[in-house]
Amino acid sequence: MTKPKLLADQLKKYLIPTFERKAKSITALDVRTLTSYTDALIIIEAGSQRQVTSIAEHLLTALKAQKINVIGSEGVKEGEWALLDYGNVIVHVFESRIKSYYNLEGLWADAPRIDLSGFETAPEEEDHEN
């Protein structure tokens, strides 16, 4: 089984584009021991329906540029709740009110949270290196 730090490193390609769009909150859960259909859930809170769509579309574009294609997506244009299924990672982008209603973090309370503290500054640090 992949160690939590290695899983966090594998999630970089999903997380960096998310932090670029200034989401209100981002939570990543390690669900490998709790379900067989994915390894990680990324739960993103956006401040508005427009931001939900913006974050979801940015993720789709950024990952496609890395040759990572989505298996399925729902709700991107509607903007309340977008679901992006990448197989081993499932990304949920919620408008704040909808996120509170569904409370996926509560539903997956037994799942260990993945430490994202190193990702918040990643895009700026990369820019300084170039």
DSSP letters, 91-110, are: EEEEEHHHHHHH-HHHHTTT
Per-residue pLDDT, 3: 56
The model's pLDDT over 13-26, given as tens digits with 9 standing for 90+, comes to 888 888 888 888 99
Per-residue pLDDT, 126: 42
What domains sit in the chain, N to C, each tagged with a CATH number? 4-129 (3.30.460.10)
The answer, yes or no, to whether residue 119 has pLDDT greater than 90, is: no
Percentage, residues of the chain above pLDDT 90: 65
46 bridge partner residues? 95
Which of 53, 58, 84 lies closest to 71 in space, CA to CA?
84
Per-residue pLDDT, 12: 84
The model's pLDDT over 46-85, given as tens digits with 9 standing for 90+, comes to 999 999 999 999 999 999 999 999 999 999 999 899 999 9
Rounded to an integer, what distance in angstroms lies between the CA atom of residue 40 and that of residue 32? 7
Per-residue pLDDT, 56: 95
Residue with token string 């309340």: 80
Q: Mean per-residue pLDDT for 36-52?
A: 94
User: Mean pLDDT of all residues in the chain?
Assistant: 85
